[in-house]
Structure 1
Amino acid sequence: MKHGRKLTGILTATLVFLLASPLADAASGRPQAFMTTGSRTSQPIGHYRFCQRHGSECLSHSVDAHPSRLTKSRWNTLVRVNAKVNHEIRPVTDEELYGQEEYWTYPQTAGDCEDYVLLKQYMLERRGFDSSDLLITVVRKPNGEGHAVLTVRTGDGDYVLDNLANTVKRWDRTHYTYLKRQADGDSGQWVKIDTGHEMLVGSVK
């Protein structure tokens, strides 16, 4: 009986671990794991100006139809980069820093939500993630404010890195309404997510 209870405990613990793991989402075959994108839409003005200053960051590129699986190593990298940037960058509005709205740039010590995204995108590219899998995404918070997060495409679903949370979550496990994101084949183009519409994304709260 003792051996039976021990085996049952091990199996239960294993099942709990698998259900808690991000890899379990893919195994379930749930269609929500991946965003559904539609037609091309307007590029946020802040990103347009960023591309004018950093042309090499906004080029078209090949797309891997089958993004890399979310291995334990890659998952740990996402978590570390997200937490590192969130810890090191202080949230400040563009008006306070630059005296203007929607000034997207790589932050040094402080920045707006999209600045966090740009830095995480930059860091992950240099850690082996493909640029077509690192997409700036515009969302709406429950209170109606605009916000920006980084969507990471993986073979196991789309995951979100957010300056408002150190926890990396699958996109459909967040409380946001998703509006649009960069096209995976062209960093300077944007596509709709469902029926999203244009709005400013300067909020840092």
Structure 2
Amino acid sequence: MRLTKIKVGLCATAISVVALSAVVANASSMITGKLTSQPIGHYEFCLAYSEECQQDRKASLKPVHLTRELWKNIVNINSAINMVIEPRSDLEIYGREEVWAYPDIAGDCEDYVLLKRKMLIKQGISPSALLITVVRKPDGEGHAVLTVRTDRGDFVLDNLNSQVRVWDQTPYEYLKRQSERHAGHWVTIESPDMTVVGSVKKSD
């Protein structure tokens, strides 16, 4: 994967700086529960990239400190990758479902997430603050987004929306995400109304 092909633009910078104070005003953090099943696509990804799915005992488990500069980077990376990667299904690209991989020119929702996570790690953010998250869209189909854990709340990077949003201000039902303690483990996401356990139909 040639990460240098993607240049982070500055088009979103002015908007992101102005919007940060308003965005964090009502931000909150997810409450996670017990260990749950790992998506099959992520399991196979971990077999191919084992170094990215291990427990790093030296890494900080604290949410990242959200500064204006970091906010600009998060917004710009989300927007840039959404623009340069063409949305295509695994079936179209690989001829089969549930292939999680770094995209070159095209990919599905999980591929966008993996690339955004990779680029933000290169910006110095701890992997424990960048968690792949499985959600259910309003139409009932499954989807994947990237959760960024910050000291101002949890934010979501989404290939279906160029805006970086507070997690509970999206239209999704949150099912599970990577554990911040171990990149190869997954935990449930709890809500005041219910706890959803298990897998979800994959889609984009």
TM-score by length of 2: 0.84
Distance 2:149 2:60 in 1: 10
Residue 103 (structure 1) aligned to one of 99, 102, 121:
99
**Aligned partner of 1:145: which letter?**
E
**Residue deviations 1:50-71, cap 9 Å, x none?**
0001101101124535323211
Check whether the contact 1:158–1:170 (CA below 8 A) recurs between aligned residues.
yes
Residue 46 (structure 2) aligned to one of 34, 44, 51:
51
Indicate the SS of the match to 2:165.
Answer: strand
Query: 1:105 and 1:65, CA in 2 relative to 1: closer, same or farther beyond 3 A?
Result: closer
Alignment of 1:117-132 (within 5 A): 117-132=113-128
**Aligned partner of 1:199: which letter?**
V
**Structure 1 residue runs of 4+, over 6 Å off?**
none
Indicate the SS of the match to 1:33.
Answer: coil
Corresponding position: 1:40 with 2:20: no
TM-score by length of 1: 0.84
Distance 2:143 2:177 in 1: 12
Residue 166 (structure 2) aligned to one of 145, 159, 170:
170
**Aligned partner of 1:185: which letter?**
R
How many Å apart are 1:25 and its aligned residue?
A: 5.9
Indicate the SS of the match to 1:144.
Answer: coil
Check whether the contact 2:32–2:188 (CA below 8 A) recurs between aligned residues.
yes
Distance 2:153 2:142 in 1: 23
**Aligned partner of 1:132: which letter?**
S
Structure 1's unaligned 5+ residue stretches are 1-19
Check whether the contact 2:23–2:165 (CA below 8 A) recurs between aligned residues.
no
| Aligned CA-pair RMSD | 1.7
Check whether the contact 1:149–1:163 (CA below 8 A) recurs between aligned residues.
yes
Check whether the contact 1:23–1:70 (CA below 8 A) recurs between aligned residues.
no
Alignment of 1:52-91 (within 5 A): 52-62=47-57, 64-91=60-87
Check whether the contact 1:23–1:156 (CA below 8 A) recurs between aligned residues.
no
Indicate the SS of the match to 1:178.
Answer: strand
Corresponding position: 1:182 with 2:183: no
How many Å apart are 1:128 and its aligned residue?
A: 1.0
Percent identity, aligned pairs only, is 51
Q: How many residues align?
A: 182
Aligned to 1:200: 201
Corresponding position: 1:155 with 2:156: no
